[in-house]
Amino acid sequence: MDDIKKVENFNKEESKGGTAQHVYGRLTMAALVGIVVVTIIISSLFGAIFGFMSAGAVNIFSAQIGQKFHQYFPNVTLHNIDPQVSKQQVIVEDSAIIDVVEKTSPAVVSIVISKNVPNAQNNPGNFFDPFGFDPFGNGPTPQTDGQGSQKQTIGGGSGFFITSDGYILTNRHVVDDAQADYSVMTNDGKEYAAKVLARDPVRDVAVIKIEGNGFPVATLGDSDSLKIGETAVAIGNSLGEFSNSVSRGIISGLKRNLNAGSGFGDTERLTDIIQTDAAINPGNSGGPLLDINGNVIGVNVAVAQGAQNVGFALPINQAKRIIDQVKNGTKISVPYLGVRYIVIDSSVQKDAQLPFDYGVLVLRGSRMTDLAVIPGSPADKAGIGENDIILEINGQKLDQTNQLGDVIAKYNVGDTVTLKIWHKGNINDVQVKLEERKQ
């Protein structure tokens, strides 16, 4: 029995101990829940604090990275890091254009064309550009009313100083009227009488001169190094009224060839010229086309009618020969070969049953005086005859893109060139010494 009691007593003690453990367990669970809640609150609080601090640190760090990035890569934009970068780029680009204008604008002049014309009953006095720029549809000469004539401004153009003693480069078509008077308005508002010194019969450039010294001179660049997409700035006497107007664009194309028409029905072939979307308006003819460094890369010459922002400029390197000749006081001379020809293409080859689809066929014209080869010309002296085909000049193929007259114009009087000639089934190389074309 005692043993049984002992066992019972032991069970009772064990039972008491179990109750104590259960109560302790409930207290422990409550404490744990409280600790967890407190821990969550504290974690959230410190998380917010450290999150805020880390965010600020990241922003500061990012800003520092952005500043360093733009220090070493000023032309690259990192979005969402430095919002001022694009604005700064615009300011830098604008500053570059302003520098170009300030550098060259003083050297740009307006050319005014005056002539004695019959008095008009209804002369609106509209501006007329002599190279096809007639925005109002009015010609240069008004209707007469029978009351005599008077000197009137009939047109205008632009130009720029190439020497400090008054030599000015412009387009030939601007000063092509031998019966007209020309005057120059400089950037400071002074007016000078101008004299035409030289007109290039092949390229649309001319040199005029005013009396004086100390004129600002435009810097000539290198048009052979141009790339499509480069910045271009045009300055000129827009509409013959707004002197030294500035327009900005890019080089849209190079080595363009086209036939330009004048307001008098004349046409002129322009080769290897520059295309730009910088606005070229009536009156801009003869003004400079500039690169981003303010150097003259072209002479504004024409605009495509019926199009927007399609203008053209003669490469300045084409004008350098006449500039050098005028500066040296030598006569303007242009080389010539002395043949009449048609350019061969696949259609001409088929119709005439020729052995080549390129080159030029030496051929007489429709009149008796339109000889295939001019007597006494370089071609005549070299033995070139009618129905010969000139295939190449100094290794350059002749075709619609590279026509004979355009290629010859690149050489000087006295140069010897090698012609590849097809003559009655045989191909020979012929040496020809270029001579001066008679005006």
Active-site residue set: 173, 204, 285
Do 362 and 421 contact (CB within 8 A), yes or no? no
Bridge partner residues of 115 (DSSP): 152
Q: What is the dihedral of CA 57, 60, 66, 72, to 10 degrees?
A: -100
Give the DSSP letter of residue 373: B
- 322 contact partners, CB below 8 Å, separation of at least 6: 198, 200, 203, 205, 207, 332
3-state helix, strand, coil in the chain (%, to 5): 30, 35, 40
User: Residue holding tokens 């680009």?
Assistant: 93
Task: Please measure the distance between the N-terminal and C-terminal CA atoms of the chain and give it in whole angstroms.
Answer: 155
Of the candidates 125, 178, 183, the residue with the CA atom closest to the CA atom of residue 159? 183
Alpha helices (runs of H) in 73-137, residue ranges in sequence order: 85-104
Read off the tokens for 435.
């001579």
Give the DSSP H or E segment for 32: helix 2-72
Number of C-alpha atoms within 13 angstroms, CB side, residue 153?
16
- 232 contact partners, CB below 8 Å, separation of at least 6: 248, 249, 250, 251, 274, 276, 278, 289, 290, 291, 297
Alpha-carbon distance of 439 to 435, in angstroms, equals: 12
Read off the tokens for 268.
């002129």
